[in-house]
Structures are given as C-alpha cells and as structure tokens.
Amino acid sequence: MATVARTYLAFHHDAKLHSLQTVVKSIKSASFLEEPNKILFKQISDDDYVVVTEATIFHPQGGGQPSDVGVMQTSTCKFQVGSVRMDAVNDGLVLHFGRFVSDSERFQKEQTVEQIIDSEKRLLFSRLHTAGHVLGSAVRHLLEKEVPDFDELKASHFPDSAACEFQGLIEGKWKDPIQKKVDEFIYKAMPVEIDWWDEEDFRKNGLERLIPDRSVAPPGEKFRVVKIVGADIYPCGGTHVDTTDMCGKTNVRKINRSKGTSRVSYNVV
C-alpha cells in the first residue's frame, strides 16, 4: 500500500454525500497488515479484508467520532464495512475493514465500486459531534474567566460515552447554568459552517491557541475548521449537522472532577 496516493476525504467537503462511486486502489487480507495497522482492529480473522479506495465517504474513527459503517458493492460483489481507520503506516490512506458477503467474489484493483454509508448512524454521530462543540462552547462562555487555568482539552462523541474534558475544576453548581446555556445555543439554531484556514487565518481571528499541528493537514493544504456561527470555531475533521437545533435535545448528564481536570458528560435524544 506504500505507493498508493492519499485517499480523498469526500466527507470533508460534502457530509451529505451518503453514496459515492469510486475506484479500488488496493485490497489485501487483514492478516497481512503491518503490525501497527493490525492493532487498529480488535480481532482479525482469515475472512477479514482491508480495502483502500481513491476517495471515501466513510469517516474513519478519530477526533472523538466513531467510524462510519456501511457497504461497498458492484453488481456482483458486496463488502460489508465494519470499521474504518486512518493507516498508521502509510500517510493519508483510509483503511476500510470488513468482509465480503460471498466467499467466491472479491473486488479487483482499479475496479469501480459504490460506497454506501449507514445514514442513520452518520446522522447520530453528526448530532453528537455538533452537540459536543455546543457544550464546549457553552462551558467556555460561562467559565473561561471563572475557573482558574481553564482550557478545553479533548472530547468523545461516542453514543455511550459522550463527554468534553476541560482543564480546571468545574464545581457541580455549574451543571444547571451549563444546561441552560446549551439549551440557548440549541434553540437559536445557529448555522454550522465548514471553512479552511491556514495559520495566518487563526492569527487574524485571535485564535493562535487553536492552530493545529502541521501534521494534521497534508503538505500545502489548509486546516479544516467548523464554525458554530455566534458561538465558537474549532479545528475539526468530523461530520456535523447544519444548524445547532438539529442536535436535538442535548442533556448535560454530570460533571466529574479528577487531578485538576473536569469531564462534562452529555447525550442527545
């Protein structure tokens, strides 16, 4: 796979694209993956394969968001995509991990296939991801000047463990005000926009603290940012809904504190 060009991330440019015609660039048994890639997938059997395509609408797991699932198919062959990851060895490749429905049919290199993602799961993951940014923004607006050494750290947007982590100790008394602020941002139906920035764009907007590591973007390309208009801007490679109200009811579940950090968990209903 080392000679295969970077996978074009179609979902970065159009997250509403739930099917796509693309070309198979490589296919191999998962048993022959390099060791750093094998550990990306929990269990590998002789029936598992990894397919790399020219472009993909499948979001690989990362940035706190689960991977998309779905199928790739031709008129005679179907591949069930159960997990998607960025290649740990070959920069910029997306690995589609799964199984062929028939033992006798396999894709061929340079064959055109149709990708179809599970739209219901994509919508849930997008709602959760946008809701996570809404929560992060709500906490920042309320507590940036109230909590010593405050900063946003990381987030998980998985359905059963969605949470945002912050530097600084957030007391339980803030749970209701955070919920109120989240409700306000959701109710306002703020537009969620995608843009592309270089380092200078971050500086011009006073957001030097958010400049990502250069390795996050391909050489010479700008960083992808998500703007919640009227709230905040985040460097982000995930998928999102168009407006904050599309997150649905977003509940602040609890606040946990440990070793100088706070974890605010949430869900969407």
Mean pLDDT of the chain: 95
Do the beta carbons of residue 251 and residue 257 sit within 8 Å?
no
Could you give the residue range(s) of every CATH 3.30.980.10 domain in the chain?
A: 122-268
Could you give the residue range(s) of every CATH 2.40.30.130 domain in the chain?
A: 8-117
Architecture of domain 8-117: Beta Barrel (2.40)
CATH number assigned to the domain with residue range 122-268, chosen from the 4 options 3.30.980.10, 3.90.650.10, 3.40.50.620, 3.40.50.720: 3.30.980.10
Interatomic CA distance for residues 264 and 152, integer angstroms: 11
Question: Quick one: pLDDT at residue 1?
Answer: 42
Exposed e or buried b per residue across 5-35, where buried means at least 16 C-beta atoms within 10 angstroms of its C-beta: eebbbbbbeebeebebebebbbbeebeebee
Q: Which tens digits make up the pLDDT trace of 93-130? A: 999 999 999 888 899 999 999 999 999 999 999 999 99
Confidence band for 2, pLDDT divided at 50, 70 and 90: very low
